[in-house]
Amino acid sequence: MPPNESETENQDFDDEMYMEILRDDPPMKRYVSRGDTPDPVDISGPHKQADRAIFRCIRFTMNDKTARFQPILGDAGMGKTHLYWVLKDKESIFSGKEFLAVYVPSPPAPVRIPLHLHACLVDEAGEQIFEETVDMLISKFGGVKGVTHEQYDFNYAMERLLARYPGISADVVKALMRYRLDPDYRDLARRWLFGDAVSDAELEQLGVRTVLEEDDVTVATLNLLMEGSERTVVFFIDETEGLYNTHGEEAERRFLEILKRIYNEGKNVVMVASCLTDVWNRIYEIADAPMQSRMEEPVSLRPFSEDDLTCFVEKTMQQYWNEKNIDPPPSLLFPLSEGDIDDAFKHSEGVPREAIKFIIPRLDSILFDIEEEPEPQADYIIKLTASVVINAIVEALKLAAEEIGGQVQLHMAKGGTSREATAIVKVNKNGQSKKICIDVANVKDWNRSGGVAGYYSVKRVKEIIETDEADYGIVAVPKETGGAKFEAMREELDDTLTTLRFTEKTATQLVESTKGRVLTSEEADIFGEMVKSV
């Protein structure tokens, strides 16, 4: 009896050649999803219910422009971050309309949260969102989309818009109009809109009085950009519980207040908030009644079934062989077996991350006769917003204090825009307690001068020290920052102020050090000296 096609394939299969290819470049290196690295394989079943709820919110918001808030729940490793990449891949799912998925890592410190959201939005949307918002503004007074300075004069446009957008919003509108209608200051306006550092002279040239630092100005900017965007903005807020876990109820309450404000004042936005299942009820209780009433019903991700896990491995290996430009083996599980998949499923109890983490050393044992636990993989991305840098400084102070038997706690200051922008920590050592206020210059590029942002940072610290809300101050600015006003105010504060000067590299290193809870020797010396001198 002649062999069937499947038997012929198996006879022709050169398993040693395939094993050599696998040894040279093993597959499945990653078991953690990250907001800055797309996931190549998706198994849709576990998030089907979440998809339905999120797309329902997006569809309604596309039609009525009303803001919506959708919680998504799941245990660690269940695919909450992966869900962002699912949304990103489906931005054009609605016929004739699109949405813009924006990844928002949980702000690590309860300060300048709107600025954190703004940085995520403009980094993802780019200048297109400025162009679309200008078109929206021009259409408000009967203008035509796409017009340039050759058709409209800047002053002509501003005369018609200032009545509609008075107060804080006026500066945002001015920057947007200069971006389109004033070629001499287009680049400067772009920098202002991206939240980059500008000098006093440049502010005067733009004709604005504010910079993107204080919450009110940043929220006004966010609201205009979201309203002007031709795509519904979908903020995917990862680990909504992050502030609660790190800094407690008051910090999480401040975060939720900002989200509520954007919900109340913003248009054309959907907030998808991922959260650990066992923490959600506490987060929900922290929110006030109006915020609770605005939330959609939470939806949970389901675990992998064994078939889901088999499908994941097969799709991963199919993609691997496609990239190698080689026909796949007769079994797409190769070099794994059905028994390996069964073991991984039982070990993981359906948690995708744990299943993949189990399979990686099993692959190593097959390919290299070794079986080691995979190295820890970072599940965070580093975006050097003020909130991120402030939190790194707070954590570095905590680590330094622990070395000498001291303690550092975040002290939640209340009221006033200066206090919303600045963190205050309480340092306890040798039976004494002192407060340090920490402020970070709002800059986009840490390799350039901080401009006027450095001056405003020192000014906020000075105000807080003068009102006796803190005993000492720390400001973090780009290494190249200078200027007469900045230096004069630093001299006024004298020994009560410590200035940390960072580059992109050293700021990133500090964030990584504090995430790993081990400071470099240089960082340990700097922060140890600060704690000792208090």
Read off the pLDDT of residues 36-45 as tens digits, 9 standing for 90 and up: 889 999 999 9
pLDDT range class, residue 496, cuts 50, 70, 90: very high
Q: At what angle do helices 215-228 and 249-265 cross, to 10 degrees?
A: 40
Q: Are residues 335 and 418 in the same domain?
A: no
Q: Is residue 364 part of a domain?
A: yes
Residues recorded for the chain:
534
The rounded distance, in Å, linking the Cα atoms of 350 and 362 is 17
Output the pLDDT for position 145: 76
Q: Are residues 417 and 525 in the same domain?
A: yes
> pLDDT digit string (tens) for 162-183?
889 988 899 999 999 999 999 9
Q: Are residues 402 and 526 in the same domain?
A: yes
Q: Are residues 481 and 353 in the same domain?
A: no
The rounded distance, in Å, linking the Cα atoms of 400 and 45 is 46
- Whether 259 shows a pLDDT value over 60: the answer reads yes
The residues near 403 (Cβ < 8 Å, ≥ 6 apart) are: 524, 528
Output the pLDDT for position 150: 67
Most confident listed range (375-379, 383-387, 437-441, 446-450): 437-441
Three-state DSSP at 195 gives coil
In one-letter notation, the amino acid at residue 378 is: A
The rounded distance, in Å, linking the Cα atoms of 428 and 438 is 16
Q: Are residues 406 and 529 in the same domain?
A: yes
Q: Is residue 324 part of a domain?
A: yes
Q: What are phi and psi of 314, to 5 degrees?
A: -65, -45
- Whether 418 shows a pLDDT value over 60: the answer reads no
The rounded distance, in Å, linking the Cα atoms of 46 and 438 is 43
Q: Are residues 527 and 417 in the same domain?
A: yes
- Whether 413 shows a pLDDT value over 70: the answer reads no
Q: Is residue 493 part of a domain?
A: yes
Q: Is 424 exposed, middle or buried (0-12, 13-18, 19+ CB in 10 A)?
A: buried
Residue 357, domain extent: 9-32+304-368
- Whether 47 shows a pLDDT value over 70: the answer reads yes
Output the pLDDT for position 522: 95
- Whether 292 shows a pLDDT value over 50: the answer reads yes
Which range has the worst mean pLDDT, 393-402, 409-418, 468-477? 409-418
pLDDT range class, residue 451, cuts 50, 70, 90: confident
Output the pLDDT for position 151: 67
Confirm if 106 and 81 have CB atoms less than 8 A apart.
no
Confirm if 518 and 509 have CB atoms less than 8 A apart.
no
- Enclosing H/E stretch for 284: helix 277-286
Q: Are residues 363 and 418 in the same domain?
A: no
Output the pLDDT for position 414: 46
- DSSP 8-state class, residue 295: B
Confirm if 68 and 57 have CB atoms less than 8 A apart.
yes
Mean pLDDT of the chain: 90
Three-state DSSP at 410 gives strand
138, two tokens: 């021009």
Output the pLDDT for position 141: 84
96, two tokens: 């004739």
Give the position of tokens 């720390």. 474
Q: Are residues 308 and 334 in the same domain?
A: yes
Output the pLDDT for position 412: 65
Dihedral of the alpha carbons of 175, 178, 179, 183, in degrees to the nearest 10: -150
The rounded distance, in Å, linking the Cα atoms of 468 and 475 is 17
Q: Are residues 422 and 503 in the same domain?
A: yes
> pLDDT digit string (tens) for 235-258?
999 999 999 998 889 999 999 999
**Mean pLDDT of all residues in 290-319:** 96
Report strand pairing: 407-411 vs 423-429.
antiparallel
In one-letter notation, the amino acid at residue 467 is: T
- Whether 2 shows a pLDDT value over 70: the answer reads no
Number of domains in the chain: 2
- DSSP 8-state class, residue 382: -
Domain boundary among 335, 368, 401: 368
Q: Is residue 342 part of a domain?
A: yes
b/e sequence 213-248, b meaning 16+ C-beta within 10 Å: bbbebbbbbbbbbbbbbbbbbbbbbbbbbbbbebbe
Q: Are residues 476 and 361 in the same domain?
A: no
**Mean pLDDT of all residues in 505-523:** 94
Output the pLDDT for position 20: 94
Q: Is residue 224 part of a domain?
A: no
The residues near 454 (Cβ < 8 Å, ≥ 6 apart) are: 197, 441, 475, 477, 478, 481, 482, 483, 486
Between 444 and 180, name the one with better pLDDT: 180
Give the position of tokens 């050393």. 361
509, two tokens: 């290193």
* CATH at 477: 3.40.1340
Q: For a pLDDT cut of 90, what percent of the chain falls above it?
A: 71
Q: Are residues 329 and 398 in the same domain?
A: no
Q: Which residues on neighbouring strands pair with residue 103, listed in sequence order?
A: 236
14, two tokens: 């050169």
- DSSP 8-state class, residue 158: H
- Whether 415 shows a pLDDT value over 50: the answer reads no
Q: Is residue 519 part of a domain?
A: yes
CA separation (Å) from 137 to 133, 134, 209, 338?
6, 5, 20, 60
**Mean pLDDT of all residues in 210-233:** 93
**Mean pLDDT of all residues in 212-221:** 89
> Which residue from 344, 357, 351 is spatially nearest to 301, judged by alpha carbons?
351
Output the pLDDT for position 385: 86
pLDDT range class, residue 198, cuts 50, 70, 90: confident
Dihedral of the alpha carbons of 425, 430, 432, 436, in degrees to the nearest 10: -20
Q: Is residue 315 part of a domain?
A: yes
Between 497 and 370, name the one with better pLDDT: 497
Most confident listed range (8-12, 54-58, 290-294, 492-496): 54-58
The rounded distance, in Å, linking the Cα atoms of 277 and 77 is 12
- Whether 96 shows a pLDDT value over 90: the answer reads no
Q: Are residues 427 and 477 in the same domain?
A: yes
Q: Which residues on neighbouring strands pair with residue 66, listed in sequence order?
A: 267
> Which residue from 308, 281, 311, 243 is spatially nearest to 73, judged by alpha carbons?
281
489, two tokens: 């105010």
CA separation (Å) from 364 to 19, 24, 342?
11, 12, 17
The rounded distance, in Å, linking the Cα atoms of 74 and 82 is 12
pTM over 0.75: yes
Q: At what angle do helices 306-323 and 352-368 cross, to 10 degrees?
A: 50
Three-state DSSP at 454 gives helix
Q: Is residue 47 part of a domain?
A: no
**Mean pLDDT of all residues in 360-374:** 86
Which range has the worst mean pLDDT, 62-66, 274-278, 429-433? 429-433
Output the pLDDT for position 1: 45
